[in-house]
A and B are shown apart, each in its own frame.
Chain A
Amino acid sequence: MFSRMAPRGRSGLGRSLAELGLLLLAILVLLDGTVLSLEAATSSEIDTHEGKPGTHKNTSKKSFPVLGIKYDDVSVPFEISLWVLLASLMKLGFHLIPRLSNVVPESCLLISVGLLVGGILKLARDEVPPVLSDRIFFLCLLPPIILDAGYFLPIRPFVENIGTILMFAVVGTLWNAFFVGGLIYAVCQIAQDKYSEIDLSNIGILPCLLFGSIISAVDPVAVLAVFEEIHINELLHILVFGESLLNDAVTVVLYHLFEEFMESGSVSAVDAILGLVSFLIVALGGVLVGAFYGILAAFTSRFTSHTRVIEPLFVFLYSYMAYLSAEVFHLSGIMSLIACGAVMRPYVEANISHKSHTTIKYFLKMWSSVSETLIFIFLGVATVEGEHHWNWVFLTSTVVLCLVARVIGVVGLTYIINKFRIVKLTTKDQFIIAYGGLRGAIAFSLGFILHSEHKKIFLTAIITVIFFTVFVQGMTIKPLVELLAVKKKHEAKRSINEEIHTRFLDHLLTGIEDICGHYGHHHWKNKLNRFNKKYVKKILIAGDRSKEPQLIAFYHKLEMKNAIQMVESGGGSKLNSTFPSTVSMQNIQPKIHSPPSARPSERALPQLTKGREEEIRQILRTNLQKTRQRLQSYNRHTLVVDPDEEGFDDLILKKRRMMELDWKLKQMTNYLTVPRSQGSPTMSRARMASDSQAYVKPGAENVPTIKIDLASPQSPDSVRLLDEVVQDQGLTMSLPSSSSRAYKTSGKDDGRDQQKLLRCLSDPGPDVDDDEDYDDDEPVPT
């Protein structure tokens, strides 16, 4: 799922880790069971204790209780924490056993664990707590997953395929519901099983249709869980995933509709039309509510520059409010949440600090991950808990009908859709879409809150279908994807080239469409963008950033990432090609491999862009001082003052200092060595740190070169270089021959040294994790 780093443990270490993991799992499961049964025991004890206080008092004076158990007060939070802990430890455990997690998707393992825990609980206490109640599920467990999906939804492919997605979500789900509901009714009427205690023919058409509508919805949680691991190409992923998100509206409407019909007992044509209207209201209403809250959140984030700490909180709260508000009016909460996340994201990201962005990202991932794990475990537990009515006819026919309905639905719809698509869906695509129609916990929860008399058999059937899809389809989809050689996802990050060219093509296509007089795709996108730039951005984005064009923002992000990467790898990362423009060192240092027109005159006094200032600050900070920054008084509303936080706008003071620094460096023609006479290296380092402008102009006039050693002082490479260049001096700040004068005079010798410097600095540094993937995606479709 998320950054799986488990190595293939064939070594002995791996095996022992695996054993350790298994042991850990077993212990945990036992522990959980015992604690929960302990809770039952103690509660009963306390009950009996409370039962006769009077007699106690009369008989003896109670001695002061030194140690006592009082479990009731903390029981609820305690249990919750225990479950979450169990879920997280399970997750840990699975990644310690790489072989298993490669074959079996995580969802299956989690359900199995749930079954296990449920079994233990049943044995211990003879009853299982109803953990997957609908309130817990819909109010606590589902929103984080959906918010995570919505906030990081890749907008561009989603909008480009919106027609297809809507077709599948609306028409496909309707088809599924009616097909399964109707045929199940037929099966019930026909099949008369003498051995079953249930009379199937009792089940009317309306309950069957209700059942059909519950079981027909593709579940986003299950889809996410399984598809995350198979890495198929973006198009298929967004199709199935988008469908699973948008069919919530259909499911909600159908469910309420059939429930109402069941209560009232009769159906009329007016009701059907009302149903249609209700669907439109549910869907559009949900989206509007979400968009409204999204805009509110964006507007709020405009003013948070002084209280950066609570920025993530606004994002979460507004989204949750959007969800709850939609649920109040029986609108589609999922669509509201998606709309809120998608609308708010571009503006909020422009306003909040980098740290808040990271916080939001990691919190969302953490919550959704835990939620998902809990959902699957609870699914297992609930399976053990419920009473089941096994009716083989009903169960098998449900499973078969679901599969058949899905296949027919997908094939039929694709035939129609392909007439309108530019890039057609192939048979392989259709197969994956059909096969990826997994059912999950939403269906279960909806079945849980049924008020029908046939609830038990419906629940059993729902669970069967869920298990079938998750286990069978989930496990086999990965080998099938390999077998069919379906296109996989490209893992490469977005490059600035791609960005530029994509924009160029956008403009080109808009122009061509204008020439054709055809108001196509690009025309409307262009109009939306212009509207966005002119009005919306001004309102929702703080300060200068509102005028910053997309490309620049993207570019800054890239450079920032590079800078952080470089600093994190100890300043020893690439200096040359991939990092040219923002490191002002490059400006000062003539590129050896650049074309002969080295243009030294232009580099007289480089003007520093914000990105470069960032770089210089980073480098100087890492290399000059390991001394503590002087902390300002700690304030709960601001974190430790950190230069990173100030944002790009606010650098006037720093800029001036940087420019002076640069100027001074240019002027320097000697080593920026702190002569030994001035004390120990530590002292001199400290002095330089405290006042970065106080360069001691060394009196010595040796080699006329200035070199800055970018590697950290401790790295062996840098030490080697230093040895070559300088004989046991103190801290040297050496900049590879900056001035053109030095270049001319030292010639070959310097060249060699510089190449050595470049070579020893070409340490590739750590890989950026690939869940940055959707980070750089287009905010508003541009």
Chain B
Amino acid sequence: MGSSRSSLRRVPDGQQLLQETGCEPERWFCLGLRSEDLEAELSENPIGDRIVGAFFQPGQETVDFPSFVRVLAHFRPTEKNRTRDGVQPEPANSRNRKLKFAFQLYDQDRDGKISRTELLQVLREMLGLQVTEEQLQSIAERAIQEADLDRDDAICFDKFRKSLEKVDIDHKMSVRFLE
């Protein structure tokens, strides 16, 4: 345990991280990164590569602790009652930020839209070899038709958010451990 002060001092930018993510750094030390198990699990995960890739800033080859923390901060459960004054930046675990994170996993080239090819890629990864290319095309086609407002053959963030409005993102995209 120990006082949070001491742990904050140990971590570089600890104070700033606390501000940004709202979470005590000492928590993060408890994360067990058992690499062998992790590799096995993530390799089975269809979008494992993307997830791992999300931790890396574009262009960087390594992940440092603050970026790791920043990414995981998205998955803290949302606090409903927190009042935000306009001064503070939007907390990392707000619904919007969570969705933005998920959106970025789709949108690898960071152009702000999920294009048809990107969607197809995701579908291919998720459904694997169980379906034919034709079926994938059909599904992607239909998905885009449903979501595409401005006829540019891609899904923008707004429409992405809209199609998930029925889903309880606060619940779904939260890992309780990180509270």
Contacts and interface: CB of A to CB of B under 8 A. Distances in A.
Contacts of A521: 176
Interface string A501-518: 111110111111111111
Nearest to B127: A549
Contact of A497 (B41, B72, B163, B173): B163
B124 to A, nearest CB: 12
A609 interface: yes
Interface in B124-150: 126-127, 130-132, 134-135, 137-139, 141-143, 145-147
B22 to A, nearest CB: 15
Contacts of B105: 504, 508
A609 B138 contact: yes
Q: Tell me what chain B mostly uses at the interface: helix, strand, loop, or mixed.
A: helix
A508 B47 contact: yes
B172 interface: yes
A559 B135 CA distance: 12
A744 interface: no
Nearest to B138: A581
Contacts of A135: none
A490 B167 CA distance: 11
A500 interface: yes
Interface stretch (B3-11, B26-34, B84-92): B26-34
Given A495-B146, A581-B142, A508 B175 contact: no
Nearest to B122: A504
B138 A517 contact: no
A578 interface: yes
A160 B172 CA distance: 10
B45 A510 contact: yes
A278 B164 CA distance: 44
B143 A497 contact: yes
A424 B33 CA distance: 30
B170 to A, nearest CB: 6
Given A507-B45, A508-B102, A510-B45, A422 B176 contact: yes
Nearest to A577: B145
A498 interface: yes
B173 A514 contact: no
A236 to B, nearest CB: 13
Nearest to A595: B153
B77 A422 contact: yes
Contacts of A638: none
A551 interface: yes
Nearest to A503: B126
Contact of A507 (B47, B80, B143, B174): B47
Contact of A548 (B130, B139, B163, B168): B130
A374 B40 CA distance: 58
Interface residues of B, number: 58
A609 B170 contact: no
Given A513-B175, A607-B134, A580 B141 contact: yes
B126 A504 contact: yes
Contact of B41 (A514, A551, A582): A514
Contacts of A520: 175-177
A580 B163 contact: no
B23 interface: no
Interface in B26-82: 31-34, 37-38, 41-42, 45-48, 51, 72, 75, 77, 80
Given A516-B31, A595-B153, A552 B51 contact: no
A578 B123 contact: no
A555 B145 contact: no
B47 A501 contact: no
A43 to B, nearest CB: 59
Given A422-B171, A517-B33, A609-B132, A507 B126 contact: yes
A423 interface: yes
A501 B169 CA distance: 11
Given A504-B106, A512-B72, A423 B168 contact: yes
B160 interface: yes
A580 B41 CA distance: 38
Given A498-B163, A509-B173, A551 B137 contact: no
A502 B167 CA distance: 8
A129 to B, nearest CB: 48
A118 interface: no
A609 B135 CA distance: 7
A552 B132 CA distance: 10
A468 to B, nearest CB: 34
B55 to A, nearest CB: 9
A122 B47 CA distance: 71
A490 B31 CA distance: 38
A581 B141 contact: yes
A516 B31 CA distance: 5
A580 B147 CA distance: 13
Interface in A511-535: 511-518, 520-521
Nearest to B74: A512
B145 A551 contact: no
A503 B126 CA distance: 8
A761 to B, nearest CB: 16
A632 B72 CA distance: 64
A516 B146 contact: no
Nearest to B174: A422
Nearest to A582: B138
B32 A580 contact: no
A500 B47 contact: no
A515 B51 contact: yes
Contacts of B127: 549, 551-552
A509 B122 CA distance: 15
Contacts of A508: 47, 51, 102, 105, 173
A498 to B, nearest CB: 5
A497 B166 CA distance: 12
A611 interface: yes
A160 B134 contact: no
A551 B175 contact: no
A490 B168 CA distance: 12
Q: Output the residue of B47, B119, B132 with the most chain A CB within 10 A.
A: B47
Interface string A145-168: 000000000000000100000000
B32 A517 contact: yes
Contacts of A497: 143, 146-147, 155, 160, 163
A508 B134 CA distance: 26
A387 B51 CA distance: 70
A505 B173 contact: yes
Contacts of A61: none
Given A422-B77, A504-B47, A609-B138, A160 B143 contact: no
B47 A515 contact: no
Contacts of B51: 508, 511-512, 515
User: 4 tightest A-B contacts by CB?
Assistant: A581-B138, A517-B32, A497-B163, A581-B141
Given A496-B146, A514-B41, A515-B42, 17 more contacts: A422-B77, A495-B146, A496-B142, A497-B160, A497-B163, A500-B123, A505-B167, A508-B102, A509-B75, A510-B45, A514-B42, A514-B45, A515-B31, A518-B175, A578-B146, A609-B132, A609-B135
10 contacts: A422-B77, A504-B102, A504-B122, A505-B102, A509-B75, A511-B48, A514-B37, A549-B130, A552-B139, A609-B134
Interface of B: 31-34, 37-38, 41-42, 45-48, 51, 72, 75, 77, 80, 102, 105-106, 119, 122-123, 126-127, 130-132, 134-135, 137-139, 141-143, 145-147, 151, 153, 155, 160, 163-168, 170-178
